[in-house]
Amino acid sequence: MSCNLTYAKQLLGAGLDGIAAARQELHGPIFTPPLQTVAWTPTAIGATIGALGTRLIRRDKGASGAAIGGLIGSVFGFGAALAWASRDFTRPAARKTVQGVNTVRDAHWLESHPITYA
């Protein structure tokens, strides 16, 4: 069990190291354009679509159903704005994270499957 926990910590550490390396490489803000200016419109559109969609589909739920639909829609809208504003950072961060995790996975595999040369 402790072996699996150590391996999981190594994988997590490699992922975080990859994100940190990409952040150091970026030399600027993660969110371009700034998230504050980009987030409001998609969040409002998502809230409107969620509230109207819930209201049209489930007419018997009343205002509480529309409020929940609006909340869920606003979360999706904000998530879309977040993904769009950080798109220049996401690619290098994902690449470096995958490289680090693959290195840890390869080292773990070699520990459990030692190569014996004849």
Domain count, the chain: 2
**pLDDT, tens only, 19-39:** 999 888 887 777 777 777 888
Residues with Cβ within 8 Å of 116's Cβ and at least 6 positions away in sequence, in order, are: none
Whole-number Cα distances in Å, 47 to 57, 63, 65, 69, 105: 15, 14, 12, 7, 42
Q: Are residues 46 and 61 in the same domain?
A: yes
40/26 same-domain check: no
**Domain span at residue 102?**
1-30+89-108
Structural domain contains residue 115: no
Task: Please tell me whether residues 24 and 60 are part of one structural domain.
Answer: no
| Mean pLDDT score, 97-102 | 94
pLDDT in the model for residue 112:
85
CB atoms within 10 A of CB 47: 21
Span 37-91, pLDDT tens digits: 888 999 999 999 998 888 788 766 667 888 898 999 999 999 999 888 888 888 8
Exposed/middle/buried for 62, CB within 10 Å: 0-12, 13-18, 19+?
exposed
Within-domain flag for 114: no
C-beta separation of 13 from 34 below 8 A:
no
**96 in the same domain as 78:** no
**Same domain flag for 67 and 48:** yes
pLDDT of residue 76: 95
117 assigned to some structural domain = no
Per-residue pLDDT for 98 more than 90?
yes
Asked, for residue 96, whether it belongs to a domain, the answer is yes
